Structure 1
Amino acid sequence: MEFDRLTHPRLIKSSRRIPELSLAPHRQRYNIPIGLHANLSEGSPVCEVLRTNSSLLNQDGFFHGKMGFRTALSKGLLNMSEVKQELKAQVELFHELTGHLPPHMDGHQHVHVLPEVRHVFAEVLEEYGIKYTRVPIEPGLHNCDWIPPSLMDFYLGVEEDSFNTVDVFTKHGIRWADIYIGLSTMGRNMSVSSICSALDSAVLQLRAKAAQGSAGTIELMVHPGYPSVPPAGGCGEGPDDFSQSWERLHELQTLIKPELQSHYKSRNIQLCSFKDL
C-alpha cells in the first residue's frame, strides 16, 4: 500500500492481529498516525471481566453483532456501565500498544452515535482528552439512488442517530470534520468519479458556509486493504463478508490512482490526519 495516500487509519480493538499491527514496520517507516476504531459489535471484549456474564455478549459469548447490538439496545438489554468499561479498556490497550492515546476515536459500524452509547462514548473521550471523532452525516446521501434500499435504510438510521448526537458531543468539547463523506463511495461504489463528485459537492458546501479564505475539513471514510482469508482476520469469530470481499482491494486500487491525486491538487485539497488539526 502507498501509505502517503492513507492519512489516518484506525486500530480496531478485539482484533487477533492487534500485537502485529502495533509494531507493523509500515507504521514505523511512514510515521502513520493511527486512531482508535472502538468495537462493541464484533468479536469479544478486551476487558476480561466482561468476557463472561456481560450484557454485551450473546449466547455464544461474542458481541451481539451489527444489528444484534442495535436490537439489544432498543430492548434495554445493554448495561451502559459495561459499555463504558469496555470503551475505557480499549483506550488503555491502545495506549499500551502504541505508547500514546489516540488523537481520534470513532465506532465500528457507527455504534458510537447510537442512543445511550453516545453519552458514555463522549464521557470516555472527554476523560482521556481525545479531541476528535466521526459524525457520519453525509451531504446528498438521500440522492444516492445506486445504494440498495436495505443499505440505504441502515445509512439513514445512522444519519438520524448522528444528528441526535451533535449536541452531546458538542457539550463534551468533542470535534469532528466539517463534512463527512464515505457512505456513498464505499466498496463497489467507489470510483475516481464518485469520490471526485462527492468531494466537489463537499467543497462547494464548505465555501458556502466558511468565511472567505478560511479552510475547512472533509473526512473521507475508506476501507482499503486485501481480502482476508479465513480463518485469519476478524475479531475472534473469523473475518466478516466485507473483509473477505474484493471490495477492499478495489478501494485500495482506486485510492492510489494518479487521476485522484491530480484532482486533490486541482481543488487545493491537502491530505492530512486528525493529528494535524
Structure 2
Amino acid sequence: MKSIWVCADDYALAPGVSEAIRGLLAMGRLNATSVMTVFPDLDEEAARLDEAVRAKSTPASASIGLHVTFTGGFSPLAADPLGGAAFAPLQAVLGQALTGRLNMAAVRAEVEAQFQAFHAAFGRPPTHVDGHQHVHLLPGIRAVVLEATARHAPGALVRDCTPAPRARLGFDAKARLLGLFATGLRAQARARGLATNTGFAGAYDFGPGHDFAALLAHFIAGLPEGGLVMVHPGHPDAVLASRDPVTDQRAREYAALAGDAFPALLAAANARLA
C-alpha cells in the first residue's frame, strides 16, 4: 500500500476555506495543508487549525506548511518584488521572474517575513513549503525559498510539482508546464538537505464542468509512493469572492473529499494518507 499526501492549499485565504480544511483534517480526509500568512487574522486561524489537528479522527499527524505568496493582489508583509503596494497577478510576476527583473532584495525580505509570520503564529517552523500559484518554482524566488527553508525549517518537505506521469489528464499542458518550471528543484532541494515529494498531481483548470470525484480518483491512482495531490476545498463566502476567482469549485472539491466514497477511493488506489 502506497503512502501519499493529500494537501489542501490556501488555508487562511478566507474563513470558509479555513473552516472547510479544518473539518476535512478532523475527519482524516487530508494529511496536510498550506497556510497563507499575509492576512491579518493569521493568529486566530492558526489556533483553530492546531485545535482541528489535535481532534483528527486518525492518529497520524498532519503537515502544516507555508504557502509562500507573491501574487493575488494581497498586501505584502514586507515588500513586493515588483515594487507595488499589492502583489501583482501571476502573469506579471512570471514575466519579471523569467527575465531576471524581480527586485531580489524585496523577494528576500518578503520570504523572510512570511517564514517569521508562520513561526510567530504557530510557535514552530512549517513542516512543508510550497507556493501560492506555484511561485516557489520561479527563477529568483526558488533559490530564496530554498535557502530560507534550509535555514528556518531544515526538516521541511519542499513541494516538487513534477507531474506523476500516470496522474496526468491526457496531454495535460498545465501539468507539463508546471513540470517544466519544476525542472531541477528536487536536486537543488537535496543539495540543501531538504526532502521533496516523489510525484505530483492535482492541476486542472478549475472549470465547473469537471467531476472532481473522478479527477481525484485518477490523481490518487496515478501517484507513486510518497506522491502529493494538491486540493482546494472550501465553503464559498464573501471574503473568498473578494480575494480569489475560484469559488464554487472549492465547494465541489470539499464535497468529494468529505463524501462517503472517499475511503473507497483510497482503497481502490491501494493508497493511504502518509
TM range (shorter): 0.7 to 0.9
What is the CA-CA distance between 1:72 and the residue it aligns to? 2.0
Supply the distance in 2 between the matched residues of 1:99 and 1:143 (Cα, whole angstroms). 38
Pair 1:239-2:262 in alignment? no
1:69-109 per-position Cα deviation (integer Å, ceiling 9, x unaligned): 11122333212232122111111111111111101111111
Aligned with residue 10 of structure 1, among 23, 34, 49? 34
* One-letter amino acid matched to 1:197: H
- Unmatched runs of 5 consecutive residues or more in structure 2: 1-22, 55-61
SS at match of 2:254: helix
Q: TM-score, normalised by structure 1?
A: 0.77
Aligned to 1:224: 233
1:98-147 per-position Cα deviation (integer Å, ceiling 9, x unaligned): 11110111111111111122111111111112420111122348962596
Supply the distance in 2 between the matched residues of 1:142 and 1:179 (Cα, whole angstroms). 9
Supply the distance in 1 between the matched residues of 2:167 and 2:126 (Cα, whole angstroms). 32
**8 Å CA contact retained: 2:166, 2:222:** no
**8 Å CA contact retained: 2:167, 2:221:** no
Distance 1:218 1:96, change over 3 A: same
**8 Å CA contact retained: 1:91, 1:101:** yes
Aligned to 1:256: 258
The number of residues matched between the two structures is 240
Aligned to 1:79: 103
Pair 1:38-2:68 in alignment? yes
Which one has a larger percent strand, Structure 1 or Structure 2?
Answer: 2
- Unmatched runs of 5 consecutive residues or more in structure 1: 207-215, 273-277
Aligned to 1:115: 139
Pair member with larger Rg:
1
**8 Å CA contact retained: 1:118, 1:168:** no
SS at match of 1:251: helix
What's the RMSD between the two structures over aligned residues?
2.5
Supply the distance in 2 between the matched residues of 1:44 and 1:21 (Cα, whole angstroms). 18
Structure 1 runs, 4 residues or longer, greater than 6 Å off: none
Q: Please, which moves more after superposition, 172-181 or 218-227?
A: 172-181
Supply the distance in 2 between the matched residues of 1:190 and 1:218 (Cα, whole angstroms). 22
SS at match of 1:194: helix
**8 Å CA contact retained: 2:168, 2:201:** no
* One-letter amino acid matched to 2:232: H
Q: Which residues in structure 2 correspond to 1:34-183 (within 5 Å)?
A: 34-42=64-72, 43-47=74-78, 50=79, 55-58=81-84, 61-128=85-152, 129-140=154-165, 144-145=169-170, 152=173, 155-183=175-203
SS at match of 1:78: coil
**8 Å CA contact retained: 1:138, 1:180:** yes
**8 Å CA contact retained: 1:9, 1:35:** yes
SS at match of 1:13: coil
**8 Å CA contact retained: 1:224, 1:249:** yes
Q: TM-score, normalised by structure 2?
A: 0.78
Distance 1:190 1:174, change over 3 A: farther
What is the CA-CA distance between 1:260 and the residue it aligns to? 2.2
